[in-house]
Amino acid sequence: MKRVISRTVPGSTSSHCITLLHHFTQPGKQATDDSPLPFPLAKRILLHILRGIAHMHKCGVVHTDLKRDNILFDLGPLTDKDIDAMILANPPHRHPPEESGDGIVRATVSQPLPAPDISDLMEHSFFISDFGSAQPLETHLTDKITADALRPPEAILRGPWNEKVFETVVRREFFKHEAYPDHGLDEEVGHLWQILCFTGERFSPEQLQASHRAPEFFDYTCRLKSHPPNFYNPFDMSIRNYKILEESDVLATTSIMKRCLRSNLDDRASAEELLRDPFWDGVD
């Protein structure tokens, strides 16, 4: 949620273009305005993602690679005639010839459609793409899942996981996959430490006993072997620091995050349960 409500988008000529669009705009053009994404739009995007996740789980599929790069949007109010007119005005063309391992090639120039204005995005629908890493819900082909920076604790610890591991659609950017040399923590331990500090939870003995890599990180008291300092930095405090949301929105956002960001996946809400959260009231 922090990323969605506070980050602008690299790679756009618009100073208000959101991060989800950066693959569809010309490279090398950087947004300079640090304005947040409107909260109603952020909720719309997240709700559409959550609906997609719930549908996948009903079909017995887990995506395992949910990230910003795999979220697309539709054409909104653009019609086929609009697109035809754009192509006529800017016909397909190629780069100059250049050598490659297969001989001389002429690559096609990327000609993305113009990014919609921030004020028009409420008319768009958002979709999950790229099922190249998807797995059956009941048959896990591998336990090495999702990108390092997006991994929940059970993916780092190589413990049992289910579909709830990927239902935390409001999770990222609170936990970073980075080292803390001052505390003697590498990237993985630093990631686990942040999860403990932000959630205020501890991993249970049962959870660690079922995790293949737990002995690498935890001692017999279920504490990190490196003994970094303990502190509690609740989600609402972090969100308030941005001074973006009204207090009622801070509390509503914190509430749904707490349902998602549990250290033990058995305590997390399912996608269907999250869809019934009052956080989505009035969102289409």
The string of DSSP letters for 70-96 reads GEEE--TT--HHHHHHHHHHS---BPP
Q: What is the mean pLDDT of the chain?
A: 81
Distance CA 250, CA 232 (A): 18
Q: Provide the domain count of the chain.
A: 1
pLDDT tens track for 32-91: 455 678 999 999 999 999 999 999 999 999 888 888 888 999 988 888 999 999 989 989
Q: 30 pLDDT band (50/70/90 cuts)? A: very low
CATH number of the domain to which 243 belongs:
1.10.510.10
pLDDT tens track for 143-172: 677 777 778 888 889 988 888 765 454 555
Burial of 263 (0-12, 13-18, 19+ CB in 10 A): buried
Distance CA 84, CA 71 (A): 25
Q: Which single residue is written with the structure tokens 């273009």?
A: 17
Higher pLDDT residue, 162 or 191?
191
Radius of gyration, CA atoms only, the chain: 21
Tell me: pLDDT of 274 over 80.
yes
Dihedral (C-alpha) 6, 56, 162, 264: value to the nearest 10 degrees? Answer: 30
Q: Which single residue is written with the structure tokens 């192509």?
A: 87
Least confident of 1-10, 88-97, 199-208, 275-284: 1-10
Angle at the Cα of 92 from the Cα atoms of 86 and 97, rounded to 5 degrees: 155
Distance CA 108, CA 92 (A): 8
The structure's pTM equals 0.77
pLDDT tens track for 81-93: 999 999 899 899 9
Which pLDDT belongs to residue 220?
93
Domain that holds residue 42: 2-280
